[in-house]
Amino acid sequence: MKPILAIGKMNRDQGYTLLEMLAVVALIGLIFSLAVPSLINREERLLLNQIAKLLSSDLNKLKLEVVANRSDTTVYFTEAGYFFKLDDYQIERKFNNFSFHFIVLDVVDDEVDAEGDFETVPRDMMQLMVSSEGRCNPVRLEWESTHFKGVLAINEDLQVEWITTSK
């Protein structure tokens, strides 16, 4: 007795043809070629969002500490990340393990500090000066990762705007 769903004559010894096998392999390849890049981009977008949240959190903490301690400080942005020192602690964020970098275009020259000593600031850094009132000079930095690029804008109140676009 033949199965109900069998259509036409079917010989169990015959198997699949080469053309049928190639069609299945081609379909599987097409599905993977569409799915894998979107998964990679999704992971990268998640990491970029984490960087934006971390930066925003650090600047909010910095603003609270500066206002509470009535002291000025400076945030330095490098290609690899950013850092700042406030009283007894220093926060340094580097994104070396992830292909992300800031594009630092401004050149900072040597400056004289309050005691008259020269403080050498590397030329590949951008400064964000934060006053004891929790205000700063507005900063706009471009950044790039493997598949995305964008802009980081920090306004006078240390509020962060993170804009992401595809390359």
- Geometric angle at alpha carbon 27, from 23 and 28, rounded to 5°: 120
In the chain, where do the E strands start and end? 73-77, 81-86, 89-94, 100-103, 111-112, 118-119, 126-130, 139-145, 148-154, 160-166
Residues 158 and 19: their CA atoms lie apart, in Å, by 63
**What is the per-residue pLDDT across 88-140, written as a single tens digit (0 to 9) for each?**
888 999 998 778 999 876 444 444 344 433 334 445 688 899 999 999 989 89
Domain total in the chain: 1
Please report, for the domain that includes residue 51, its CATH number. 3.55.40
Please check whether residue 56 lies inside any domain of the structure: yes
- Average pLDDT for the chain: 82
Give a yes or no: residue 4 inside a domain.
no
Taking only the tens place, the pLDDT of each residue in 29-59 is 999 888 887 777 888 999 999 999 999 999 9
pTM of the predicted model over 0.85: no
- For 112, the domain range is 18-166
Per-residue CA distances from 86 to 59, 61, 134, 138 (Å): 12, 11, 13, 20
